[in-house]
Structure 1
C-alpha cells in the first residue's frame, strides 16, 4: 500500500505541471486564432501575398476561395491583381453567393472601388490547378470542371476566367461535369461586368453554360473558348434568356454555334445589344446557332469573319420554333457551304430589319440560304456583293420588301442597284439608292452607329443611316403672324456643325418687308438661331433659306462639309407673316343725319380681322347700345336714343387686336342728331275708324356673351315697351351640335355642355341684367359646364329658352305676338379668351323650380 500510494502520488505530481503547460498552450493558440464571430457586411480584401483575414489590404486574405467562404450578403470582395485557383480538386469551384459582389482590378492600395483598373490590374480566376497548361488546351485534363459557379443576386466584375475544362468528345449531354468550363449557371442569374472568358473548354458551353438561367452581361468578352459540341463561347439551354450588352465573341469554336448556341425544351431567347461575333468557327453556325424554341433578339450586332464547314457562316437556325429578330445588324465576310451569311433550315424564319449582308461566300446562297419551309421576313435591308447568289430558296418563300437585293427579288419596294458602300465599310455614300428608300414602319430610333435612324424623312436601307451633315429644318421660333421688331428662325442640322454665320443665309421677302436684314447668328452643335430685323409700319412675309457655301462643317477631326459631296443648300425655310400696322376702325350707318329713326343701326368696320372687341368697348352718348353682333372685321349694333339731340358712339384705341398682336387705333366719333317729328293726323270724310292700339309687351334679347378677364358673362335686355314680369330661362350653349332656332332649343337638347339661369326678377323696358356663373339666378342643378371654356369654343345664348307647355317660352313677347323674327338668340360667338366656369354645384337655387317654366 505504501508503494502504491507513493507511486500514485508521484504520478499526480508529474501530471500537474503538464496540465498547466497544456492550458497555457491552448490560451496562446486562442490568442493567435480567435474563434470566429458574426460579422457585419463590408469589404473583404484579397491579394496573392496576403497574410491576414481580409480586414484591410495589409491584412488581406491570400485566398479568394477563403474570402468567399467568409462572405455574407452585402459584402464586397476586392481582389488585387494575380492568379487565383478555386482549390486543388477538379470539382472545386468559385461558388458565387447571393448578395455578394466580387470586384477585380485592384493594385492593392485603393480606398475607393472607383479607383481600380481592371484592365491594368488583371485578376485571373484560373482552373489550371497545376499551373502547367500549354497552348491549344494542352495539359488541361486535370483542370477544374467549372472555374466559377453562378448564383442569383451575385455580382462578378473585373476578372478573367480561364482554364476551365470538362470537354468530352464522347457525349453531348450535360451530365456530371460536362458543361460550362469557364462558368456554370444552373437556375442562377448572376450579373457580370468587365469579365473575360478565355481558354476554357467543355462539352457544352466552353465559356459559359446556362440552364434555366438568365444572367446579365455587360462589357464581357468570350475569346478562344471551345466546346466539343455546342456553344464554344456560350450555350443557353432550357429557359435561359440572358441579356448581353457590349459583348464580344471572338475566336471561339464548337460543332454548333462557335460563338453562341441557343436551344431548349423551353424558350431560350437571349437579348443581344451591341454585340460582336468575329472569327468564330463551327460545323453549323460559325457565329451563332439557334435551335428549338430559340428566337434571340439581336440589335446593333456585328457578325463578321466567322466560318462554318457546313451551314450558316454567320448564323444558323434549324427549327420551326426558331425565329430570331435582327435589327441594325451587319453580316459580312462569313463563309460556309450553304448560307455564307445566314442558313435557315427546317422552318426557321428570322425577321430582318435594316440588316446589311455583304461580302459573304458559300457554294449555295452566299448571302442567305433558306431550306425546307424557312420563310424569313426581310425589309429595309441590303443583300449585295456576296459570292454564291444573294438569296437561294429551297422549298421556302421568304417575304422581302423595301430592300436592295443583288439580281433582284420579288417584293414591294425592292431595288436591284448597287448600294454604293463607302470604301472599306458598309456605310452608304451620299448618292446611294438606299437612302430614303425604306419604309418607316417599326424602325428603330437609331442605326448601328447610334445615329438617328431617319434622316430626311424616310429610313435608309441597311444597318447605317446616312449621316453627312444636312439641314433638317429652318423653322419659326415664334408665332406667325407677328408684329415683332425681330423674328427668330431656328435652324436644325442632323449632327453638330460649326462655321455657321449670316453669310450662309438668304431672305425671300414680300410686301413692305423687303428691307428686312439678318442679324448676328448664334448657337452651337445641331441648333442655331438666326434673328431677322423686320420693317416697322409695314406688312409682308419673310422666309429664311440656307445657301451651301462650304463653310459649314462637322466637328470631326476630318470635318465633313454640309451635304458631303452634294449641294447642302436648303430652300424650304419657314415663312413669317409680319404685320406691324395697327388696325383702323370706322363707324358708319345707313341712317342719314339728322334722323328720327330709333334705334339707329351702326356698322363697325376694322381694317382687318380683330379679336377681343365686345359691346362694352362701345361708349354711347345719349343712347343705349343694343343688339351687338359680329366677328372678324365687321360688327353691328343699334343705338337707341335716350332723348332728342346728338347721339354719339366712340371706340377707343387698344380695345381689339389683330392676329399679329397689334392694337387698334381709335375710331372717329360717330354722331347723329336725333329729332323725332310729331305725327300729323288728318281726318277725311267719310270717317275712318282707327282700331285700338295693341297692348304693349316686353321683348327680351341677348346683348352680349363675354369671356373677358377669364370670366363668363351673358347680358340680357328688355327692348320692349312693357316690363317682363314672368320668370324665364336663359341658356348658354357650349359647342352645340347645331345652332338654336326656337323655343325649347335648350343646351341639353342640342349638346352635352351648357349653363342655365332662372330669372325671376321683373325686367323693366330698357333695363338689362348681366348673368354670371354662381350668381343669384344661376342654376347649378340644370347646368353641366364640362370644364372651362377654351379659346375657340363656339357659344350661343338663348333668352326665354324653355317652356314645355307653350310655343313662346315663359314670357309673351311683342315679336311673338306680331309674327316677327325670333330674336331671343345671340350667336355664334367664338371665345377669344379662356374662361373659368367655377360652379356652385349643390347650392340651393335662388328661386323655387315651380316658379320657372317647365323644361
Structure 2
C-alpha cells in the first residue's frame, strides 16, 4: 500500500491569518490538512495528523474502532490525535472528517492493516501469489503485502534492491534499497526448490541481499529498516547475507515519518527507531566512500534514534569505512550481542570494529572483536560520549590503530563507562598510548573484573592500560585480573610476589595454561560471577557463569576461555 507524505503546511502560513481581500472586507476561510491518507498498524496505537485553520474546527469519524482524543479545536495549527483499536480481522478503513464550516470540510482516510499476519514464500524470480513455494512471489511484493508479524520465507539466491526508498529520488539508482517498513520476520536459507517440509539451512543455502547494482553503482544502504518502534513486535531477520552497500553523500537525507535517513550512514544496513533482531546473519563487504559526495559513516551497520538491536550469531566482518566506523556504529540506542563477531573491518578514521557514540549502551556476551584496523582512536571497541559497554566472556585481539591518538583494543572518550568481565584483551597495537585500553577526556570509568589484558603494543612511554593525564582522569577499578605482568586481588591490590608472563602462560587461543599461573589462581568462579552480575541493573544473564564456549566456570580462572 502506498504512503502519502505530510503536505507542507508552511505554505501561505502568513497569509492564512490575514485573508481579508484588499478591495473587499470579506474574511477568507482557510483549512489545510497535513495527511489525507494514513496507514496504521493492526495494533492498538495512537496516531496524529496536523491541521491548520483560521477558524475553530470540529472532528468526527464514521468508525467505532477509532477513538478521537478531542472533537473540538481552536484556530491555528493543531495536532489531531486518535487511537485505532486492535484489529484481528481483515483490513478495514475509516474516514475522519475535519469540518470548519459548510464550505470547508476535509476527509482523512485511515486504513488499518489486517490482523491475520499472512505468510509469504519468496524466490528471486518469483511471479506467483506467494502463498506456497510452488507459487512463490518476488521480495518487493511480499514486503508490500506484508502486515505486522507477517513471515517471509526466502530461498537461496541473490536479491538486489530494485525499489526506491520511500520519499527518495527515483532518478538516483543508489536510492534503491530493500526497505523493511513493518515489524515482520524474514527467514532465508532455503534450498532453490523447497517443498512444504523443507527447513532453512543458511550455512548451505545462501540467501544474499546484494547492494552492488552494477559495476559502478551501489545502493546507499542494501537494507533500510524504517519500521516503527513497537514494544510488542519487532523486525526479525535470520539466515541472510547483507553485502554490497556503499554509504556516501553524507550531506543529503531522505525523510520518512519525521526521521532523517542519511544517505552517508550504514552501507550494509541503516536502522532507525526500531526493535530489530538479527540471527545467523552476515553483514559483510560493505563500505563507505566519497564516490557520491561526502564520505559516510558506519560501513557495515549504522543504527540510531533509539534503535534497539539484538544480535545472535551474527558476523559483521570485512566492511571498509572510508571515514569513521567500519563494522557497527550505534548512536542513541541499545545493543545486546550474543556469540557474534566484529572482525576484519577497517576505517580511515576512528572505530574500525564497534562504536557506541553518543548515548549508546552496548552489551556483549561471548563476542569477538578481532583484527580491525584504523587510523585514529579505538580500532577495536570505541565508546564515546555518555555511552556504556558491558563486555562479558569476549576476546578483543589483533586490532591496530596507526594513530598516535591511542586505543588499540578499547577506547573510552568523553564521559563513558566500560566493564570488562571475564574477557581477554591481547595482541592489540596502538602507535600511541594504551595498546590494550586507553581513556581520555572527562571522567571515564573503567572496571576490569576476572580479565586478562596483556601483550599489547603501544608507544614506549605508555602501557597496556593507560589514560590521558588530565584533572578529570580517574584510576580504573581492577579486581581478580592480570594487567601486563601484574596480578590484582579481589580487593583490587597488586599481589606481592606474583607475576604473570603472557608469553608462557597463555596458549595460542589466549587461554591460561601452566603451573603457578596466577590467571588460574586469582580468578572468580561461577558463584562469585553470579553474585557480581546480580549487582547490575538489569542483572546479567546466565552467560556470566560460563566461558565463551559454554563451559561452566567451576574454577577460579580468568579470561574469556577456560578449557
Q: Scaled by the length of structure 2, what TM-score is found? A: 0.62
The structure 2 residue matched to 1:394, chosen from 447, 465, 468, is: 468
- Which one of the candidate residues 436, 442, 445 is aligned to 2:532? 442
When residues 205 and 111 of structure 1 are mapped into structure 2, their CA distance, relative to the original with a 3 A threshold, is: same
Instruction: Give the CA deviation at 1:451.
Output: 0.6
Q: Which residue number corresponds to residue 552 of structure 2? A: 452
Distance 1:360 1:39 in 2: 52
Match for residue 157 of structure 1 among 238, 249, 262: 238
Question: In 2, are the aligned partners of 1:83 and 1:126 still within 8 Å (CA)?
Answer: yes
Q: 2:353 aligns with which of 267, 270, 287?
A: 287
What pairs up with 1:26-65 in 2 under 5 angstroms?
43-50=119-126, 52-61=128-137, 63-65=138-140
1:376 aligns with 2:446: yes
Match for residue 405 of structure 1? 483
- Deviations 1:782-820 (Å, cap 9, x if unpaired)? xxxxxxxxxxxxxxxxxxxxxxxxxxxxxxxxxxxxxxx
Offset of residue 296 of structure 1 = 0.9
Q: How far, CA to CA, are the matches of 2:550 and 2:480 in structure 1?
A: 22
Count of residue pairs brought into register by the alignment = 393
Gaps of 5+ in 1: 1-37, 134-138, 189-200, 468-855
Distance 1:211 1:76, change over 3 A: closer
Ranked by relative contact order (alpha carbons within 8 Å, sequence separation 6 or more), the top structure is: 2
Structure 2 counterpart of 1:83: 158
Q: CA deviation at 1:427?
A: 0.8
**Which residue in the other structure is 2:501 paired with?**
418
CA–CA distance in 2 between the matches of 1:58 and 1:234?
34
Q: After the TM superposition, which residues 759-778 of structure 1 pair with which residues of structure 2 at under 5 Å, given as runs?
A: none
Q: Deviations over 1:478-533 (max 9, x none)?
A: xxxxxxxxxxxxxxxxxxxxxxxxxxxxxxxxxxxxxxxxxxxxxxxxxxxxxxxx
Structure 2 residue 561 is matched with structure 1 residue 464: yes
1:57–1:108 CA contact under 8 A, matched in 2: no
> What does 1:170-569 correspond to in 2, within 5 Å?
171=251, 175-176=253-254, 203-227=264-288, 228-254=295-321, 255-264=323-332, 268-282=333-347, 283-319=349-385, 321-336=386-401, 337=403, 338-363=406-431, 364-372=433-441, 373-388=443-458, 389-395=463-469, 396=473, 397-408=475-486, 411-414=492-495, 416-419=499-502, 420-431=504-515, 432-439=517-524, 440=528, 441-442=531-532, 444-455=544-555, 459-465=556-562, 467=563
1:100 Cα shift? Answer: 4.7
Q: How many angstroms apart in 1 are the aligned matches of 2:465 and 2:117?
A: 59
- Residues 137-158 of structure 1: CA distance to partner in whole angstroms, max 9, x if unpaired? xx015x4655454535444433
Quote the residue 2:78 is aligned against. none
Deviation at 1:102, TM superposition (A): 3.6
Shift of residue 279, structure 1, vs aligned partner: 1.0
Query: Does the 8 Å CA contact 1:93/1:149 hold for their aligned counterparts?
Result: no
Work out the CA distance in 1 between the residues paired with 2:192 and 2:410.
48
Query: Does the 8 Å CA contact 1:405/1:416 hold for their aligned counterparts?
Result: no
Deviation at 1:73, TM superposition (A): 5.4
Q: Measured at CA, do residues 407 and 82 of structure 1 come closer, stay the same or move farther in structure 2, by a change above 3 Å?
A: closer
Deviation at 1:95, TM superposition (A): 3.9
SS in structure 2 of the partner of residue 344 of structure 1: strand
Contact 1:147 1:162 in 2 (8 A): no
| Distance change (3 Å), C-alpha of 1:301 and 1:340 | same
Contact (CA 8 Å) 1:150, 1:185: kept in 2 or not? Answer: no
Question: Retained in 1: the 8 A contact 2:241–2:284?
Answer: no
SS of structure 2 residue aligned to 1:276: coil
* Alpha carbons 2:225, 2:270 under 8 Å: kept: no
- Which one has a bigger Cα radius of gyration? 1
Give, in whole Å, the separation in 2 of the partners of 1:74 and 1:297.
26
Provide the rounded CA distance (Å) in 1 between the counterparts of 2:126 and 2:296.
41
- The offset of 1:81, in angstroms, is 3.3
Q: Deviation at 1:343?
A: 2.0
- Within 5 A, what are the aligned runs for 1:630-669? none
User: What displacement does 1:208 show?
Assistant: 1.8
| Partner Cα separation in structure 1 for residue 416 and residue 147 of structure 2 | 46
For 2:116 and 2:559, locate their aligned partners in 1 and report how far apart those are by CA, in whole Å: 55
1:311 to 1:68, Cα distance in 2 relative to 1, 3 A:
closer
Q: 2:119·2:151 contact (CA, 8 Å) conserved in 1? A: yes
Distance in 1 (CA, whole Å) between partners of 2:186 and 2:330 is 28
1:285 partner SS:
coil
Query: 1:742-753 residue pairs with structure 2 within 5 A?
Result: none
* Deviation for aligned residue 1:215: 0.8
Distance of 1:356 and 1:79 partners within structure 2: 38
Maintained 8 Å contact 2:220/2:264 = no
Contact 1:312 1:343 in 2 (8 A): yes
Q: Give per-residue Cα distances to partners, 1:818-843, cap 9 Å, x unaligned.
A: xxxxxxxxxxxxxxxxxxxxxxxxxx
Q: Supply the distance in 1 between the matched residues of 2:160 and 2:150 (Cα, whole angstroms).
A: 21
Q: Secondary structure at the match of 2:553?
A: coil
Deviation at 1:281, TM superposition (A): 1.6
Alpha-carbon separation, structure 2, partners of 1:303 and 1:55? 41
Runs of 4 or more, structure 1, over 6 Å off, are 38-41, 184-188
CA distance in 1, matches of 2:259, 2:554: 42
2:196 is matched with which residue?
Answer: 112
TM-score, normalised relative to structure 1: 0.42
SS at match of 1:204: coil
Residues 833-848 of structure 1 aligned to structure 2 (within 5 Å): none
Assess if the C-alpha contact under 8 Å between 1:384 and 1:405 holds in 2.
Answer: yes
CA distance in 2, matches of 1:387, 1:274: 27
**2 CA distance for matches of 1:262 and 1:82?**
30
Q: In the TM superposition, what whole-angstrom CA distance separates every residue of 1:193-236 from its partner, at most 9, and x where no partner exists? A: xxxxxxxx951122222222231122222212223443222222
Residue 427 to residue 242, structure 1, CA distance change in 2 (3 Å): same
Offset, 1:393: 2.3
